[in-house]
Chain A
Amino acid sequence: MTRISVKVDGTTYEDEVEPRLLLVHYLRDRLGLTGTPIGCDTSNCGACTVDLDGESVKSCSVLAVQADGSDVTTVEGLAHNGELSGLQRAFHERHALQCGYCTPGMLMAARDLLRENPNPSADDVRQGLEGNLCRCTGYQNIVRAVLAASGQEVTA
């Protein structure tokens, strides 16, 4: 067992964990933060994407011990005092989700994308979200939502 200290969505947690414990299982099973889902076991789908010290990572590909001393933001930490983030609002307004299972990962990946490229083209968004799979939307409204959240005019 290894002792770790991780700040998640503003709260600091200290825990003894097995070295092999995945960050996503730590979030879900130990902290009960089930907003971050698991969609695959090969880090292809991106459903479990979270922010680790300012960068988006697939939390199925990070060990909890690697997050020791880090600051993690999950989808559950995006809204503040009930106020949705711009991306969350845009996903809602542009109908960018159906079943919603990929949505936490999409939001976290899109947040990172906009941080790196505040003014992306539609193609930039498509390329930038390549690591996050959605089976419901065909991606079109996700692209629209990310463009809208960046403050750009979106047609249709």
Chain B
Amino acid sequence: MSGTVEREVGRPRLRKEDARLITGQTNWTDNISVNGLLHVAILRSPMAHSRLDRVDVSAALDRPGVVAAFSGADLAEGLGSLPCAWPVTEDIVLPDHPPIAVDEVRYAGDPVAVVVARDRYAAADALEAIEVDYTPLPPVLDLEAALAEGAPLVHSDKGTNRCYDWPLKTGEDFDSVRECAEVTLKRRYHQQRLIPNAMEPRAVVVTPLAASGEYTVYSATQIPHILRVMLSVVTGVPEHKLRVVAPDVGGGFGSKLQVYGEEAIALTLARRLGRPVKWTESRSEGYLATHHGRGMIQDVEIAANRDGKLLGLKVDLLADMGAYLMLVTPGIPILGAFMYPAIYKMDSYDFTCTGVFTTRTPTDAYRGAGRPEATYAIERIMDDLAAELDLDPVELRHRNWIGHEDFPYTSIAGLTYDSGNYEAATEKALALFGYDKLRAEQADRNERGDAVRLGIGVSTYTEMCGLAPSRVLRDLRYAAGGWEAATIRMLPTGKVEVVTGTSPHGQGHVTCWSQIAADVLGVPFEDVEVVHGDTMAAPQGMDTYGSRSLVVGGSAVHHAALKVVEKARKVAAHLLEASEHDLEFTDGVFSVKGSPDARKTIQEVAFETFSSHDLPDGMAPTINAEYLVDPDNFSYPHGTHLCAVEVDTETGRTRIRSYVCVDDVGRVVNPAIVEGQVHGGLAQGIAQALFEEAVYDEEGNLLSGTMADYLVPSAADLPDFVTDRTETPSSTNPLGVKGVGEAGTIASTPAAVNAVVDALRPLGVRDVRMPCTPERVWQTLREAAR
């Protein structure tokens, strides 16, 4: 394949996806309309916790345009509990989770009743006519109080708000390590709840074929394949009668890695009524009904020697599950459990996570899912340790990280990091940032007592992504496997269809998978199309989340293409009357060694295979190929992020002055797309550091309940980022790639908060609780001055 044609992998190809998206020729789920379509509106609990004494929908039925209305009890038959696919311990408390509440609501936003009407306005209007009698029950909001004896219970039948305890203890006993340590630091960090805010609100359309009991579910989902299995289980519609389509999907960030009640409700309504139905959430409804992210209290203790050498780490985590366990709710902190030791060597690790039920919207995956929280905790406490030891924070990290010569390296948490070069990434980042110069300026401004302080934040990270080896997932009690599928169809005219089991929603898989296939097959990039997101057209897949698509799905495309070439080689050899061993394959052309005129392109071979007039004896008339990959290991991208902030000590306002990151995501298929992923990740991580928080009042009402109250940053709130890369190929897949979707989010939160704290440390501040809003910074400064 070492031909003269420029290789596709590594080129910043412009995206094939864009043509539709920039002209408005899109197919978002809410765009879908069919004859006779009915619209669904959902009445939601206005209270965090309440008994449902009576739900009467009869008056709604009299409203104009209303076709049907149902309470939870009306729909209970044939609508099972929503699934949790990651029961992390054997004795986990798994509450029943009806898609519509039947006798009790457990968070503000819990569905209570549904109306089906001829248009969306009529459906929304009729919600007002539904009568509900509530008997308020006490809300459960504080994670520690929830675990106390006699605390009010979210699920009274379970007798506890403790969902699970999940321990991981490795290496030496932490208590003994602590005894011998010259320095120990203990810190508590709060991971505030976040609202994912994919720009496309959720929507679902179900079209029934009543006579044969077949249903097509269109949903704004990241996981059409998983959804098909789960909807079948929840509703009892046989799996082979269900087709799930993820049309154009406008972002996910984990929030569409879910099996939502509304999807099951819509399917059930279409089945009951024999009519097509649509439900589209409003943004404010989504703030209540789409799962949240983060929501943890982290007690972290680190033990070290005075020279900075780390000895051990102890982490006690309280994780807010919210009211119910959704698809992977309990597993999110467990994904983080393995990442607290990060890139550092140490002798002891002691981790415990306790999952806690509260009367709030359930939590689940949000960009990074456990790993940003872990990275935040270790990188924050490393900065504090550096301050304690009067060491430069970069130097402290350098003294403890895994050297590039040590890979593959088995971390104290038991993961085997495949490859990396922390020295190279850090060196490059420091140079781009102008670290020494900024430190000098900082010292100068501190000396002058400048009212606007300069802070420099450092964060390194690694993450486990590319989910994942199925056996490891089994050991973690995750219900599904981690494989991915690809099929390559060589069409008679020489064009190529790549069928993938990944389900993109902004990542650019169509472009990147085309690049991968074009390289192996030696066909033009333009001749490749990618089929995805439809269980009928792409029947096998494990979908898109956890930065897994390129690592696993891209590898499957690569392997499938190699199989196509091997099949085509047999046909070409037969047509050229040569031995397979005498054939060379370069830039899509089979030629016979020594006789360059004897040649067939793979696209010609595709046609000859289609006509099948002259195939080798016994060969089936196809060179199409399928490949399923189940990786041996995760992949471990890493990087070093540096953030400089200016904090106005008089107003508390933080301005990011510069941000530099050097990420190592292994080999890169499309550098433009990688850069875009990093930009977006940085924005989301910085948003957690400085802007966003799901705020509840003491009754359990979501106060930040609209986009006007929850501060998703705009262009005016963010700086230009300087991004660069080092490239250490992964050894766990043939492309040498690592994931990139979550990297930016993982490192930028601690980098930004470390910068804020660094700016204020001379004023006696050693922590600012996220988000570091002007008010909170100002309050923190006032408290420090006391």
Contact = CB atoms under 8 A, between A and B. Distances in A.
A97 to B, nearest CB: 6
Interface in A98-131: 98-104, 107, 122, 125-127, 129-131
B198 interface: yes
Q: Is the interface of B mostly helix, strand, loop or mixed?
A: loop
Which of B199, B248, B708, B712 gathers most chain A CB within 10 Å? B199
B728 interface: no
Contacts of A79: 23
Contacts of A40: 201, 282-284, 706-707
A123 to B, nearest CB: 8
B526 interface: no
Contacts of A133: 199, 707, 712, 714
Contacts of B200: 37, 39, 99, 101
A76 B24 CA distance: 5
Interface of B: 14-15, 17-26, 28, 30-31, 33, 119-121, 197-201, 248-251, 253, 282-284, 505-508, 672-673, 675-677, 679-684, 706-708, 712, 714-716, 718, 720-721, 744
Given A95-B672, A97-B21, A136-B680, A47 B199 contact: yes
Contact of A101 (B250, B673, B677, B712): B250
Nearest to A82: B23
A38 interface: yes
A42 B507 contact: no
Contacts of A138: 676, 679-683, 718, 721, 744
A7 interface: no
B25 A35 contact: yes
A2 B289 CA distance: 35
Contacts of A45: 199, 283, 707, 712
Given A34-B30, A37-B28, 10 more contacts: A28-B31, A38-B30, A44-B707, A78-B23, A95-B15, A127-B716, A132-B714, A135-B197, A136-B506, A141-B676
Contacts of A38: 30, 201
Nearest to B684: A135
Contact of A129 (B19, B712, B714): B714
Contacts of A104: 24
B564 to A, nearest CB: 30
Contacts of A28: 30-31
Interface in A28-56: 28-29, 32-42, 44-45, 47
Interface string A68-80: 0000001110110
Contacts of A78: 23
Contacts of B26: 34-35, 37, 100
B679 A137 contact: yes
Given A41-B706, A45-B199, A135-B680, A98 B507 contact: yes
A90 to B, nearest CB: 10
A88 B20 CA distance: 11
A14 interface: no
Interface of A: 18, 20-21, 25, 28-29, 32-42, 44-45, 47, 74-76, 78-79, 84, 88, 91-93, 95, 97-104, 107, 122, 125-127, 129-143
18 contacts: A32-B33, A34-B26, A37-B250, A38-B201, A39-B199, A41-B706, A44-B706, A76-B23, A92-B19, A97-B22, A129-B715, A130-B714, A133-B714, A135-B198, A135-B199, A135-B680, A137-B680, A138-B676
B121 A18 contact: yes
A122 B718 CA distance: 12
B715 A100 contact: no
Contacts of B120: 25, 29
Contacts of A103: 21-22
A102 B24 contact: no
Contacts of B30: 28, 34, 37-38
Given A39-B283, A40-B707, A42-B706, A98 B22 contact: no
B711 to A, nearest CB: 10
A36 B680 contact: no
A74 B507 CA distance: 25
B197 A131 contact: no
A41 to B, nearest CB: 4
A107 B14 CA distance: 18
A131 B715 CA distance: 9
A135 B708 contact: no
Nearest to A36: B24
A136 B21 CA distance: 14
B63 to A, nearest CB: 15
Contacts of A37: 26, 28, 30-31, 200, 250
A21 B14 CA distance: 39
A95 B14 contact: yes
Contacts of B506: 98-100, 136
Given A34-B31, A95-B14, A132-B714, A42 B22 contact: no
Which of B22, B283, B506, B706 gathers most chain A CB within 10 Å? B22
B714 A140 contact: no
Contacts of B31: 28, 34, 37
Given A41-B283, A76-B24, A100-B17, A136 B720 contact: no
Contacts of B248: 100
A41 B282 contact: yes
A137 B715 CA distance: 10
A126 B720 CA distance: 10
A137 B718 CA distance: 11
Nearest 10 pairs of A and B residues by beta carbon: A35-B24, A100-B21, A99-B506, A101-B250, A138-B679, A138-B683, A34-B31, A40-B283, A98-B506, A44-B707
Contacts of A98: 251, 506-508, 676-677, 680
Contacts of B706: 40-42, 44
B239 to A, nearest CB: 29
A92 B25 CA distance: 15
B23 A34 contact: no
Nearest to A105: B199
A89 to B, nearest CB: 8
A91 B18 contact: yes
Contact of A122 (B24, B25, B714, B720): B720
Nearest to B23: A79
A138 to B, nearest CB: 3
Contacts of B721: 138, 140
Nearest to B19: A92
Nearest to B676: A95
A40 B21 CA distance: 19
Given A39-B199, A100-B248, A101-B200, A84 B715 contact: no
Nearest to A126: B715
Contacts of B21: 97, 100, 103
Contacts of B708: 42, 44
B64 to A, nearest CB: 12
Nearest to A93: B14
Which of A40, A76, A138 gathers most chain B CB within 10 Å? A138
A42 B251 contact: no
Contacts of B682: 138
Contacts of A29: 33, 119-120
A44 B744 CA distance: 25
B715 A135 contact: no
A107 B720 CA distance: 20
Contacts of A132: 714-715
A38 B285 CA distance: 14
Contact of B505 (A18, A99, A126): A99
A75 B23 contact: yes
B287 to A, nearest CB: 10
A99 B714 contact: no
A126 B716 contact: yes
A112 B706 CA distance: 26
A92 B14 contact: yes
B503 to A, nearest CB: 12
Contacts of B199: 39, 45, 47, 99, 101-102, 133-136
